[in-house]
Amino acid sequence: MRRIAAIARNPVAVALVAGLAIAGCASKKTPNNAGDLGLGGGAGAATPGSAQDFTVNVGDRIFFDTDSSAIRSDAQQTLARQAQWLNRYSSYAITVEGHADERGTREYNLALGARRAASTRDFLIAQGVAGNRIKTISYGKERPVAVCDDISCWSQNRRAVTVPRGAGS
């Protein structure tokens, strides 16, 4: 008696709508041209060996191609400078933050950011920086630095940022 109604009905299946065309091919975005970020502060103004010195004079970040964690040649130069600096100022430990742009889904981009951080770490280790000085973390697409909705921003957000921490001077 709970349901007085008993209307003849069909068991359920999915309402299949005529297949929507799936057109187009995978788009490859043009390589970014972000180059170095002119990060504020006049070059050379920072005290040598300070975190600011690292950020301003060495360059704290590298950029990646879309959906890639390969270290580009421009990035290799930046990382070589980072390694040189870190080998000279050996009291610093670092955190390498891996980031992705907004053009991927959240969970995949967490994994992609982690892979970028790991490939950056591995490059620094190959340049002589001790692995136990390096921590990595992925922020996926959760922490963009550039917030427009086109390629000029996305290319800046596909990045790994090396953050000196602890001791120093």
- What track of x and - describes contact with another protein for positions 47 through 86 (by CB under 8 A)? --------------------x-x-----------------
In the bound complex, what is the minimum distance in angstroms from residue 18's beta carbon to another protein?
Answer: 7
Query: How are beta strands 134-140 and 93-99 bridged, if at all?
Result: parallel
In the bound complex, what is the minimum distance in angstroms from residue 62's beta carbon to another protein?
Answer: 15
Cα gap 23→152, rounded to integer Å: 26
For residue 114, give the nearest of 139, 151, 143, 84 by alpha carbon. 139
Please choose, out of 18-26, 44-52, 76-84, 161-169, the segment that lies near another protein by the rule CB under 8 A: 18-26
The one-character DSSP state at 21 is P
Cα gap 168→85, rounded to integer Å: 12
In the bound complex, what is the minimum distance in angstroms from residue 111's beta carbon to another protein?
Answer: 4
How many residues lie near another protein (CB under 8 A)? 56
